[in-house]
Amino acid sequence: MRLHEKVALITGAGNGIGKASAILFASEGADVAVVDLDQEAALSTVEMIRKEGGKALAIRADVSNAIDCQRMIEETVTRFARLDILFNNAGIMHHEDGGAMDTSESIFDLTMNVNVKSIFLGCKYGIPVMRRTGGGSIINTASFVSRMGAATPQLAYTASKGAVLAMTRELATIHARENIRVNALCPGPLKTDLLMNFLNTEAKKQRRLVHIPMGRFGEAKEMAYAALYLASDESSYTTGTEFLVDGGITSAYVTPE
């Protein structure tokens, strides 16, 4: 098993990438703390893991809140004694997020709090635990839009994911000698509730699909397998990367530096 005797905490694990990753990580031997704002969704993921013989803990937390983030780390360590993998995956893509002129300040602030501040807080409380136990792997969910503009305006989301990349690079540099690896998973457009609720018309979906060389939306499980590599010891020399899993969209539109 690729994650035998490891402990993973995954935020936003009630749905989408987080749920698929929690189930996959558990099947590969990890004990998993399933964190989500939606308690019922977190419990559902935990039940699926336990039915397959895995070990999991459901934690309700608002990842934009410092007290909740500190508590989710503490509850994980209390239950499983250590923390080897911190997957900062929780995020939002608000339907009122648009261009600079029509996105409200409140939506911008909400998006930055959930998508960026949550990673700062997760690392703030998670890294000290990893230091004590000899290191670990931190995975931050960014997006292909951190490398290119989005065809359908979503300025707050795009800005937040750019910030995720910048934070990932600095964290990776600072903590490399402590055996703490930090990488960004950059999914392309996915067939998940998060994106499908944003692309809520067929015209919006087609506007996004036309840019994807593979001609389809990705699946959450495909991102989970990418995260599994970053979480496992197989990626022991991998840190500070922008791990693009995007159906070729970035290669088609971004000129290499």
CATH of the domain at 181: 3.40.50.720
Q: Can you tell me the mean pLDDT for 227-254?
A: 94
| Domain assignment of residue 1, yes or no | no
| Domain assignment of residue 189, yes or no | yes
Segment among 58-62, 207-211, 236-240 with least mean pLDDT: 207-211
| Domain assignment of residue 88, yes or no | yes
pLDDT higher than 70, residue 240? yes
What pTM did the predictor assign?
0.94
Residue span of the structural domain in which 144 resides: 7-253
| Domain assignment of residue 207, yes or no | yes
pLDDT higher than 80, residue 215? yes
pLDDT tens-place string over residues 175-193 = 999 999 999 999 988 887 7
pLDDT higher than 80, residue 208? no
pLDDT higher than 80, residue 198? no
pLDDT tens-place string over residues 142-159 = 999 998 887 778 999 999
In angstroms, rounded to a whole number, what is the distance separating the alpha carbons of residues 125 and 74? 9
- Which of the pair, 57 or 149, is modelled with greater confidence? 57
| Domain assignment of residue 2, yes or no | no
| Domain assignment of residue 51, yes or no | yes
- Check 125, 157, 225, 237 and give the catalytic one: 157
The tally of domains found in the chain comes to 1
| Domain assignment of residue 112, yes or no | yes
Is 157 among the catalytic positions?
Answer: yes
In angstroms, rounded to a whole number, what is the distance separating the alpha carbons of residues 23 and 76? 17
pLDDT tens-place string over residues 10-22 = 999 999 999 999 9
